[in-house]
Structure 1
């Protein structure tokens, strides 16, 4: 893998820049060449817009997305047919008295639909292999647990 790049542009200047703590918005856009722009804001607890993605949302989404893509790859290699996949990742964080924050852990909660008759034990075991490959999971310094649930798709008759 090579280099990765993005452009982050602060959009929160309300006319006076950062002249005072309450004089600017915590908004920005993320741009990557040839891709849709993403409008972002700070976490709502820190004065951000609750309708926009914040860094924590994007971080958890990246972790869950990387896991999902590797799961689909390994399932395909193992002959396990995945018909649907969704996840609602949750992160646990802490903020120190000086305001510095960090993630302490994350839990991925994938719901995976497979055909009836699928070896669910084999399908579940694939999750244990992903941390070996996933670029994002290999880059974090906190534990990531996976709590998969499987749905069996009945065959059409």
Structure 2
């Protein structure tokens, strides 16, 4: 089996001058800095006092899962002769917070709206979704169920 590495650089930007001297004395902000790519400013979940204008780990995981699914969908659609002209997803992740504040995702539903060229076989277009979980790097790495509720628009 071939292996490869992914790298990232996480830089905490939340030192307000006192470090972590007190729990409320520092910001939960950081940057994701991958060489050669734009820096992404992040914060923790707004439910935990984070900046709602910045990406948080939950946003990033949900987005990565959706994007991975989309890329595989486009690949398989192309192979199957299904012409996709637009793809947009608004996934929903369900989470829970347990005793002590520890949280986790319990499920994700992907809800893509996929525009198809006229004449597309909708049964084939639908079936593609069910092949992706076996190959998507992100979907294969998560410990919660991922379901699909696609909607197709033909001729758009």
Q: Same-fold call, TM > 0.5? A: yes
Q: How many residues align?
A: 154
SS in 2 for 1:53: coil
Question: Structure 2 CA distance, aligned partners of 1:31 and 1:87?
Answer: 26
Residue 123 of structure 1 is matched in structure 2 by: 125
Question: Structure 2 CA distance, aligned partners of 1:124 and 1:31?
Answer: 37
* Structure 1 residue 89 corresponds to structure 2 residue 91: yes
Of residues 10, 15, 18, the one that matches 1:16 is: 18
Question: Structure 1 CA distance, aligned partners of 2:44 and 2:32?
Answer: 13
Deviation at 1:52, TM superposition (A): 0.3
Question: Structure 2 CA distance, aligned partners of 1:114 and 1:47?
Answer: 41
Of residues 33, 49, 53, the one that matches 2:55 is: 53
SS in 1 for 2:100: coil
Residue 111 of structure 2 is matched in structure 1 by: 109
Deviation at 1:76, TM superposition (A): 0.4
Of residues 135, 139, 142, the one that matches 1:140 is: 142
Residue 26 of structure 1 is matched in structure 2 by: 28
Q: Runs of at least 4 residues of structure 1 off by over 2 A?
A: none
- CA RMSD, aligned part only? 0.8
SS in 2 for 1:12: coil
- TM-score, with structure 1 as normaliser: 0.96
Q: Any stretches of 5+ residues in structure 2 without a counterpart? A: none
Residue 153 of structure 2 is matched in structure 1 by: 151
- The structure where helix makes up a greater share of residues is 2
SS in 1 for 2:38: coil
SS in 1 for 2:93: strand
Question: Structure 1 CA distance, aligned partners of 2:43 and 2:125?
Answer: 37
Deviation at 1:115, TM superposition (A): 1.2
Q: String of CA shifts for 1:105-134, please: whole Å, max 9, x gaps.
A: 000000000012211111010000001110
